[in-house]
């Protein structure tokens, strides 16, 4: 899938003097049904996470606290996003290489995923990813 399919999605924000509320409904606010939720926290300064692609998994990534950057790569084009608010997130479609870095102190990264964990869905070698993405692009051409 092209990197242009990955985008920031604004979530509902109900403002209240007692504290704001945001909610997410699978298939409505994110373009998939949510099968799994996980989060990253206590990431040491200077560390990177990600460094892989998924063959079939859709993800929605949110900075629940603090901030971090996400670098995306579809094998041809690269794009970088900065996440810093809990009322929007980044939709990442399948076959996109992702790297997360520049975590602020105390940041929490929550990920909503379309499928349960499957090691077979991961591509952990960038050269292999570029090869597979290129094959898919050639096979889905005009």
For residue range 6-33, what is the model confidence (pLDDT) as tens digits?
A: 999 999 999 999 999 999 998 899 999 9
Q: Is the pTM of this model over 0.75?
A: yes
The active-site residue, picked from 52, 54, 58, 126, is 52
Which helix H or strand E contains 40, and what residues bound it?
Answer: strand 36-41
* Lowest-confidence pick of 77-81, 89-93, 112-116, 133-137: 133-137
Residue 94 lies in a domain: yes
How many domains does the structure of the chain reveal?
1
**Helix, strand or coil for residue 127?**
helix
State percent of the chain over pLDDT 90.
87
CATH number (domain holding residue 31)? 2.60.120.10
Residue 74 lies in a domain: no
Residue 75 lies in a domain: no
Domain residues for the domain of 31 are 3-14+21-48+56-69+80-139
**Helix, strand or coil for residue 128?**
helix
Would you tell me how many other CB atoms lie within 10 Å of the CB of residue 16? 8
Is 52 among the catalytic positions? yes
Residue 111 lies in a domain: yes
Would you tell me how many other CB atoms lie within 10 Å of the CB of residue 61? 22
For residue range 109-134, what is the model confidence (pLDDT) as tens digits?
A: 999 999 999 999 999 999 999 999 88
């Amino acid at each position: 899938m092209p990197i242009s399919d990955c985008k920031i999605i604004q979530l509902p924000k109900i403002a209240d003097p007692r504290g704001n509320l945001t909610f997410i409904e699978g298939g409505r606010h994110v373009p998939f049904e949510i099968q799994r939720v996980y989060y990253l926290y206590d990431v040491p300064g200077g560390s990177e996470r990600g460094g892989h692609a998924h063959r079939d998994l859709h993800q929605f990534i949110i900075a629940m606290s603090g901030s971090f950057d996400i670098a995306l790569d579809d094998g041809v084009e690269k794009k970088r996003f900065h996440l810093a608010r809990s009322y929007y997130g980044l939709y990442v479609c399948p076959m996109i290489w992702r790297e997360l870095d520049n975590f602020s102190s105390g940041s929490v990264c929550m990920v909503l995923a379309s499928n349960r964990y499957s090691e077979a869905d991961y591509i952990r070698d960038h050269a292999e990813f570029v090869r597979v993405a290129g094959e898919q692009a050639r096979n889905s051409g005009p």
